[in-house]
Amino acid sequence: MTDFPLAKAITEGLKAAMSQDPSVMLMGEDIAQLGGVFRVTEGLQEEFGPNRVIDTPLAESGIVGTAIGLAMRGYRPVCEIQFDGFLYPAFDQIVTQLAKLTARHEGTQSFPVVIRIPYGGHIGAVEHHQESPEAYFAHTAGLRVVAPATPHDAYWLIQDAIASNDPVIYLEPKSRYWHKGPIDTTASGAQMGQARVVRQGSDLTLIGHGAMVSVMHQAAEIAQSEGVSLELIDLRSLSPIDYDTILDSVRRTGRAIVAQEAPGNASVGSEIAATLTEKAFYVMEAPVLRVSGFNTPFPPARLESLYLPDADRILDAVDRSLAY
């Protein structure tokens, strides 16, 4: 067991994948000599050479389009999008091409492209640097979407994503980049499509992903001091969602809250709430509640603490759920 910041856990995961498979290559703006804005790819060009770690032009559509062509030729490209708000020029390539090409080829051609996207708030950045775009991609058939919350999961999920023959959107909670945690390099436990119960409880199930998992922990600690037991589920995978784990928990606790940084309208949280209502209505003791960002553009940095859900907003929802 070794402690790594989440960013360096991804670095180590990329290094492991590149060492095992010479077809894995990295592409992105300033990722080679600089090592990326967040230094996730630092040192990898020196180790694997300029043909496998490539600085691209400032053209996200070109990055993803080139990756699609490389995948067709047998490579496993991993693209870095510098910030969440910069991905939209590549949206057409991702949604209308990458997500649909396997079906278009009736399964005879795979497109193992990974797109790494630092996402979310809590870093005091400017416009276009603190967005949560996961709903766009979770909605799009043909894409897998994952979001690790811990260094251990980040290390293993990036390797699973690269090994997948499906295109994967790999969301990195940038506010957790510098938070350390243990990594067991001998045992995974983190696989795409599997959620994780990170804390057991009996009164209510609290569901979230990415940076929100640490906020959920804060809420659970406060709730425990007040005699309320919260069970926490880290989704890890947003498409597909592991409903077996969620439903098993909710059938025991009878209550559920979904927490996320993204706006609540037509979101991952909305989908989970709807599915729980369909599949667990008769065992629920209260409606599924959502705690989310507001349905507004992400505000200036000085207002982000008002926009992003915190432990108090989650605990307010806990009180409302328990009051039913």
User: Domain segments of the chain: what residues?
Assistant: 2-183, 196-322
Among 38-42, 84-88, 189-193, which stretch is predicted with the lowest mean pLDDT?
189-193
CB 88 within 8 A of CB 174: no
Same fold, 2-183 and 196-322: yes
Nearest to 154 by CA among 189, 128, 206: 189
**74 pLDDT more than 90:** yes
**287 pLDDT more than 70:** yes
CB 259 within 8 A of CB 209: no
CA distance 81 to 69: 18
- Alpha-carbon dihedral sign for residues 278, 281, 282, 283: positive
Structure tokens at 232: 């926490």
Structure tokens at 209: 């992903």
CA distance 74 to 301: 43
CB 219 within 8 A of CB 204: no
Our CA angle for 235, 61, 267, nearest 5°, is 30
Nearest to 161 by CA among 10, 45, 8, 31: 10
Contacts of 22 (CB under 8 A, 6+ apart): 52
| pLDDT mean over 206-219 | 97
Burial classification of residue 114, based on how many CB atoms lie within 10 Å of its CB (0-12 exposed, 13-18 middle, 19 or more buried): buried
| pLDDT mean over 267-277 | 97
CB 314 within 8 A of CB 220: no
Nearest to 159 by CA among 130, 142, 123, 183: 183
**189 pLDDT more than 70:** no
| pLDDT mean over 149-160 | 96
Q: Which of the four pLDDT bands, split at 50, 70 and 90, describes residue 127?
A: confident
Q: Residue 191: what pLDDT?
A: 78
* Residue 129 is a catalytic residue: yes
What does DSSP assign to residue 207? E
- Residue with the bigger pLDDT between 131 and 162: it is 162
**186 pLDDT more than 80:** yes
138: left (phi over 0), alpha (psi -120 to 50) or beta: alpha
Given the residues 129, 152, 209, 217, the one annotated as active site? 129
CATH number 3.40.50.10860 given to 196-322: no
CA distance 110 to 163: 12
CATH of the domain spanning 2-183 = 3.40.50.970
Q: What percent of the chain has pLDDT over 70?
A: 99
Number of neighbouring beta carbons within 10 Å of residue 199? 17
pTM: 0.95
Contacts of 174 (CB under 8 A, 6+ apart): 38, 118, 119, 120, 123
Q: Residue 2: what pLDDT?
A: 85
| pLDDT mean over 255-260 | 98
| pLDDT mean over 67-82 | 97
